[in-house]
């Protein structure tokens, strides 16, 4: 038994490519349909109602591509709009719960940091779930609002002065509290790993939501006999706006992964 339909992945923009990259690495046979809402990014500063409306439209678009499973590769959607999945006819994977499990297994001292968008931090989603596993955990949250535009600008070098200075401010409470584990709770942030390590050193474990989510996707498909039994026949990438910096940002977020992808623009309101 196999299911050769594609896996649908969406994000408010291109940050979700850090999740898509991990899924493509772990499950190279799978076809991916990716939608990035580049015309309406960021979601992280918007109201719950707007984020839910956008998430439903994104999910509907992916369903129109006959996907077998949908991944919300966006910390913000996963934190405040995961209930949109209740009406989906296919399984749904969000990025929060798997990263929480990875953080809870990694921590030795029970002090865990969350660096995410303000909508994610305000939702308290990570904190609530961490406290279910470790009731006396110390959770230090920081809304790294300026980091999304910094990544979009491509200022992601390990020693980039703007990235380092901004990160130092957001990470100061984590350093003061002595966290030993930090969840990168926004899918844009894995590309700042080098700069974050330069500030926190090697003793703090960084949790990349893409890695934990890709493992969850594999596990879910394996258990339901839903893995593809043929080779990949091509991934499809869609955006709601082909911005001038699109290719630059996509290259940064995809890292060493396949950058020769074709991207199509869609009108998501009408999709």
Q: List residues binding ligand DGL (CB under 6 A).
A: 11-13, 15, 41-44, 74-76, 117, 120, 148, 186-188
**Residues carrying an active site annotation:** 74, 186
Largest CA distance in the chain: 52
Minimum Å gap between C-beta 223 and ligand DGL is 26
Helix axes 17-26, 246-254, angle to 10 degrees: 40
Name the CA radius of gyration of the chain, rounded: 18
Q: Residue 185 or residue 226: which is nearer to ligand DGL going by CB? A: 185
Integer Cα distance of 117 and 129 in angstroms: 17
Contact 181, 106 (CB under 8 A): yes
Instruction: Report the 3 state secondary structure along 127-168.
Output: HHHHHHHCCCCEEEEEECCCHHHHHHHCCCCCCCHHHHHHHH
Minimum Å gap between C-beta 38 and ligand DGL is 10
Q: Residue 210 or residue 226: which is nearer to ligand DGL going by CB? A: 210
Minimum Å gap between C-beta 47 and ligand DGL is 13
Instruction: State the alpha helices, DSSP H only, in 1-95.
Output: 17-26, 48-63, 75-80
Minimum Å gap between C-beta 117 and ligand DGL is 4
Contact 190, 20 (CB under 8 A): no
Minimum Å gap between C-beta 112 and ligand DGL is 18
Minimum Å gap between C-beta 82 and ligand DGL is 13
Sequential DSSP letters for 72-108:
E--HHHHHHSGGGGGG-SS-EE-SHHHHHHHHHHH-S
Q: Residue 34 or residue 228: which is nearer to ligand DGL going by CB? A: 34
Phi, psi of 205 (to 5 degrees): -80, 125
Q: Residue 227 or residue 239: which is nearer to ligand DGL going by CB? A: 239
Helix (H, G, I), strand (E, B) or coil at 75: helix
Q: Residue 42 or residue 226: which is nearer to ligand DGL going by CB? A: 42
Closest chain position to ligand DGL (CB) = 44
Contact 32, 7 (CB under 8 A): yes
Residue found under tokens 């509290």: 177
Q: Residue 8 or residue 75: which is nearer to ligand DGL going by CB? A: 75
Contact 62, 10 (CB under 8 A): yes
């Amino acid at each position: 038994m196999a299911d050769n339909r594609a896996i649908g992945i969406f994000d408010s923009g291109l940050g979700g490519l850090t999740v898509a990259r991990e899924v493509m690495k772990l499950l190279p046979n799978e076809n991916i349909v990716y939608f990035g809402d580049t015309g309406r990014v960021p979601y992280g500063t918007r109201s719950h109602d707007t984020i839910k409306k956008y998430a439903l439209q994104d999910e509907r678009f992916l369903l129109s591509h006959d996907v077998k499973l949908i991944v919300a590769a966006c910390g913000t959607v996963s934190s405040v709009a995961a209930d949109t999945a209740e009406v989906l006819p296919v399984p749904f994977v969000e990025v929060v719960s798997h990263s929480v499990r990875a953080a809870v297994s990694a921590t030795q001292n029970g002090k865990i940091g969350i660096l995410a968008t303000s909508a994610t931090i305000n939702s308290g989603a990570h904190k609530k779930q961490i406290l279910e596993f470790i009731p006396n955990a110390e959770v230090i949250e920081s809304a790294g609002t300026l980091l999304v535009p910094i990544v979009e600008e491509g200022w992601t070098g390990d020693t980039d002065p703007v990235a380092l200075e901004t990160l130092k401010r957001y990470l100061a409470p984590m350093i003061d509290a002595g966290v030993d584990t930090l969840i990168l709770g926004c899918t844009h942030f894995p590309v700042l790993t080098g700069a974050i390590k330069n500030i926190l050193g090697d003793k703090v474990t960084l949790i990349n939501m893409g890695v934990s989510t890709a493992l969850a996707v594999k596990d879910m498909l394996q258990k339901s006999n839903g893995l593809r039994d043929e080779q990949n026949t091509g991934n499809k990438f869609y955006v709601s706006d082909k911005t001038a910096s699109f290719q630059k940002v996509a290259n940064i977020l995809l890292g060493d992964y396949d950058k020769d992808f074709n991207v199509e623009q869609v009108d998501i309101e009408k999709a």
